[in-house]
Structure 1
Amino acid sequence: MFFDAFGTDAFLLLTAFLLFSGIFAAKFSNRWGVPSLILFIIVGMFVGSDGLGIVYFDNASLAQVIGVFALVIILFEGGLHTKWATVRSVALPSVSLATLGVLLTSSLIGFSAYLIFDLTLLEGMLLGAIVGSTDAAAVFATLKERNIKAKMGATLEAESGTNDPMAVFLTLSFIELITIQDQSIWMLIPTFFLQMGLGLIMGILIGRLASFSINRIKLGSSALYPILSVAFALVTYGVTAFIGGSGFLAVYIAALVIGNRELTYRYSIFQFNEGFAWMAQIIMFIILGLLVFPEQLFSSKVILDGLILSVLLILVARPIAVFLSLIKMNYSFKEKLFISWAGLRGAVPIVLATFPIVEGLENSQTIFNIVFFIVLTSALVQGSTISWVAKKLKLVGPKKDVPHHSIELISMGKVAAEMIQFQTNEESAVVGKKLRDLSLPNHSNVNAIIRDNQIITPYGETKIQAGDFLYILVETKYKELLTKELEKKVKMSSTI
């Protein structure tokens, strides 16, 4: 093969090709209405043994390691960008979905697999556990630029960020029940609470330690601070997993703590982790695409079995789990329908599907192929229609306009000041006002306005319009006050 013939040079060239392919796939995913993970997986399958034959890859253990590493980076980046004020309002329903919802989904799909296919009850429940959770990588990427109502987005992101531990626990538990004789499922219940408790505690402790360290340690270069944050993410997972806790939960909680504290070099840390998370997604999904053999995946049996379970998952198991998990939790019928439809499957089920292969379980390859097909179906059908479903259910929020510009900031850690970006919309109370009439806190100043991708030099008579991006320099201690003032809506304008 090409890779065998040219060795290191071929590896570097192939890596560049795959990264370029991933970047272009991400660029066109929104234009085509297809989730980027689908395109990343297709790239992997295209260059794999059943495609162009450039790379032969069947190392499930290596794919598992790469997948876990990438998921840590993706969860960490998602947690950094999650606002605690938003998550707090949906904490209880999200936790219910992440625990009871996953358990119900796994049970329904597992029992269905046992009844329909040639699997034992434990093998069927193992399959159900693998596909029981929604996927943080898929949900974060799909919702990032879609104008879904804040409550819906926060619920789905918090659920996907916290439900991986439940799926991991159930998957490992059923593998243990299959491989170890006389093992009782009831003995595993205390283990679950121990893992979740340790994950929560370690996430909070290491998150606080990381925030303190980033703000106090004086490094020789500002470029080292983002790397320090990634090191803390990996330490959080490693230490928590080593002592028997849920590493994934700990990483997400730690990132939530870090992201909601004042940080030196905050802009650099966030930008670096966002780029790193994109690279992790590209590499992970391409590797997972390489791991599957399309000739096996698209056999008539896998397609039929996968379609049956996909329909049951999307239209039966997930809705039942959502409606039961959100009883008496102030969600309307339409909101529950949307949450049911937006339960995307992605990298986590595929990574978990490598565990039975690594353990050498009977029917492990069959389970892997069915899970892979379910993920493709979920991402293609649900992921590409989320915006349409939200619109039909009238759950669309203000349009998200991601700017194609940025303002690079020199680190201002020593003077405790930072530049913040705020986008106005039709409901913003500041719209229509002149800059000199704004009631901004002292020690804050509008330095630039971006309007229709053009920069406007602000002065007192400049009138703010809907859709403007305001870049405001403010002392850190006044940041919260400034944010509250900017976020006031039209109905409150008389109090400004």
Structure 2
Amino acid sequence: MTHFSDTMILLLAVLLLIGVFSTKFSSRFGMPSLVLFIAAGMVLNQFVYYDNIKLTQLAGIFALVIILFEGGMQTSFREIRPIIRPALSLATVGVIVSTVIVGFFARLVLDVPWADSLLFGAIVGSTDAAAVFAVLGGKNIDKRLTSTLEAESGSNDPMAVFLTVTLIEWIQHPDTAIWMLILLFIWEMGMGLVTGLVVGKGAVWLINRINLDSTGLYPVLAVGAAVLTYGLAAMFHSSGLLAVYVAGLVLGNSEVVYHRTIMNFNHGFAWMMQIAMFMLLGLLVFPQDLADIAWQGLLLSLILMVVARPAGVFLSLLFAKFNVREKTLIAWSGLRGAVPIVLATYPLMANLPHGRMFFNVVFFVVLTSAVIQGTTISALAFRLKLVGKEGEAPSLMELVALGRTSSEFNHVVIQPHMPIAGLQIAEMELPEDILFTAIIRGDRIVTPLGGTVIEPGDVLYVLSPKSKREEMRALFRAEKGRSAAGGQLPLQASPLGSVQTLGEENENLKKL
């Protein structure tokens, strides 16, 4: 490898790690992590010159495919069914109202033609689900509100994309008939919905019937189905993002083998794509460029937050069963994120006269929205009395999976040479705070009691403090920590966030 390649790989590794650790920092201050990802990219562009807009747009669209697919898989039909109408109204009427209002003020503030100002309004029209739930996560807020915000964020992206692409087409070809644009909208949304349903159902059928050599290939198959969904939808000139979200909904709400494995892989992959996408987008912006449009960006951001978004929410929810306090929280929770910045690359690619200015202003709007709204949503929810004083107690799985406890789960396959093989639990000298929680024996689960004998072949689950990891390992360790065959003991940390079904567990044990 060349020195340049080695340096870039090292730099990418550092940035990825910074992105991961920054999520912990951002959650403490209630600020969406995208702010820190973008900041890392902006710092990097002081040392590395990067202006490949085409590559950035491609990476951004691919990241959105993964993020929306993962969001669809995480969404429950049962939870969004009661609020599907208000969510769709927010995603359509709300986006249009916001686009028109922001476009009106952009015409005055940016001094651009009407078509261009409406284009700017469309670009900042969609909200960011990941940013919203990074801030609201763990708060005891009415599930109806969080479900509405989740469904809106997943379904308003296609609307913003359609308006952006349509307005660019209109700017380039002003003689385009309005009725053609209406028919195009109906086709894009309708065909996108059908494509998502068909490919989603096909992916469920394929995953349940194909026998792959490794369980790790099933998540890859699911991601491949997501990318295929977008590609097919784009080929039919329909909404690829809507199709991907629908495919994710179908897959996430269906009975599929290795469901947990697929979900966990997609969740981690979506995070990685978010980090990469925001850092790439940060590379395209220079701090001095933001300083040049600071007052315009701040003014338009405030108009979006306190005028356009609330107007869109209250008008689109006019007949919905939400009170004023709930509508106020929904309005203030409209954080901007990935989609507006990716859409801001479209005018650049189309070589529009105001493309670079739009990109910088949109960037400023997203940053200020994330910082101002992101750090105040929780406080507003408390002020509006929409957060319970004592939320529902988190489950043991949530505590361990989210890193809110100092304990961890491990599972180990009991081998004949292990010291505890053949002993009753009561006969063992278990260190304090180390607990046997379950035993999988064949095709059944055995409750560990004092008289239970640990047999070779059992899969034993152990809950223990992280500080006593070595003491826990010593229970299963043969001489010098090696098995009779000379290999390491098949002990594996298993955070509850990645607990697998019995079928998945047995499949993985074959590899240990």
Superposition TM-score, scaled by structure 2 size: 0.78
CA contact (8 A) 1:137 1:281 kept: no
The structure whose Rg is larger is: 2
Look up the SS of the partner of 1:384 in the other structure.
coil
CA contact (8 A) 2:260 2:501 kept: no
Cα distance in 2 for partners of 1:241, 1:226 equals: 23
Matched, 1:309 2:296: no
Partner of 2:386: 395
Cα distance in 2 for partners of 1:354, 1:114 equals: 20
Cα distance in 2 for partners of 1:241, 1:290 equals: 28
Letter in 2 for 1:129: A
Partner of 2:423: none
Letter in 1 for 2:288: E
Partner of 1:39: 36
Matched, 1:250 2:247: no
CA contact (8 A) 1:444 1:475 kept: no
CA contact (8 A) 1:110 1:125 kept: yes
Partner of 1:24: 21
Letter in 1 for 2:350: E
Deviation at 1:445, TM superposition (A): 8.0
Matched, 1:173 2:173: no
Cα distance in 2 for partners of 1:167, 1:86 equals: 24
Partner of 1:464: none
What stretches of structure 1 of length at least 5 have no aligned partner? 411-434, 436-442, 456-468, 477-496
CA contact (8 A) 1:80 1:259 kept: yes
Structure 1, 115-124 or 189-198: larger mean CA deviation: 115-124
Letter in 1 for 2:276: I
Cα distance in 2 for partners of 1:75, 1:106 equals: 22
Deviation at 1:202, TM superposition (A): 1.1
Cα distance in 1 for partners of 2:163, 2:445 equals: 51
1:7-86 superposed matches below 5 A: 7-49=4-46, 53=47, 55-86=48-79
1:286-305 superposed matches below 5 A: 286-299=279-292, 302-305=293-296
1:367-386 superposed matches below 5 A: 367-386=358-377
What stretches of structure 2 of length at least 5 have no aligned partner? 402-407, 413-436, 438-443, 449-460, 469-495, 504-512
Deviation at 1:363, TM superposition (A): 1.1
2:94 pairs, out of 79, 98, 101, with: 101
Look up the SS of the partner of 1:317 in the other structure.
helix
1:480-491 superposed matches below 5 A: none
Look up the SS of the partner of 1:383 in the other structure.
coil
1:42-82 CA distance string (max 9 Å, x none): 11111113xxx1x2111111111111111111111111111
Q: What is the aligned length?
A: 423
Partner of 1:347: 338
* Pair 1:303–1:266, CA change in 2 (3 A): same
* Pair 1:34–1:243, CA change in 2 (3 A): same
CA contact (8 A) 1:93 1:326 kept: yes
Cα distance in 2 for partners of 1:139, 1:240 equals: 28
Partner of 1:221: 214
Partner of 1:404: 400
CA contact (8 A) 2:260 2:499 kept: no
Cα distance in 2 for partners of 1:395, 1:9 equals: 51
Look up the SS of the partner of 2:141 in the other structure.
coil
Superposition TM-score, scaled by structure 1 size: 0.80
Cα distance in 2 for partners of 1:12, 1:115 equals: 45
Cα distance in 2 for partners of 1:349, 1:242 equals: 23
Matched, 1:199 2:195: no
Letter in 2 for 1:15: L
Deviation at 1:311, TM superposition (A): 1.1
* Pair 1:218–1:355, CA change in 2 (3 A): same
Deviation at 1:143, TM superposition (A): 3.6
Cα distance in 2 for partners of 1:445, 1:329 equals: 50
Partner of 1:113: 106
Partner of 2:421: none
Among all aligned residue pairs of Structure 1 and Structure 2, give the percentage whose two residues are the same amino acid: 49
Cα distance in 2 for partners of 1:39, 1:323 equals: 32
Cα distance in 2 for partners of 1:275, 1:291 equals: 25
Deviation at 1:142, TM superposition (A): 3.4
* Pair 1:473–1:36, CA change in 2 (3 A): closer
* Pair 1:82–1:445, CA change in 2 (3 A): farther
Q: Detail structure 1 runs of 4+ shifted over 6 Å in the superposition.
A: 443-455, 469-476
1:364-411 CA distance string (max 9 Å, x none): 11111111100001111111222111111121253574423576899x
* Pair 1:346–1:220, CA change in 2 (3 A): same
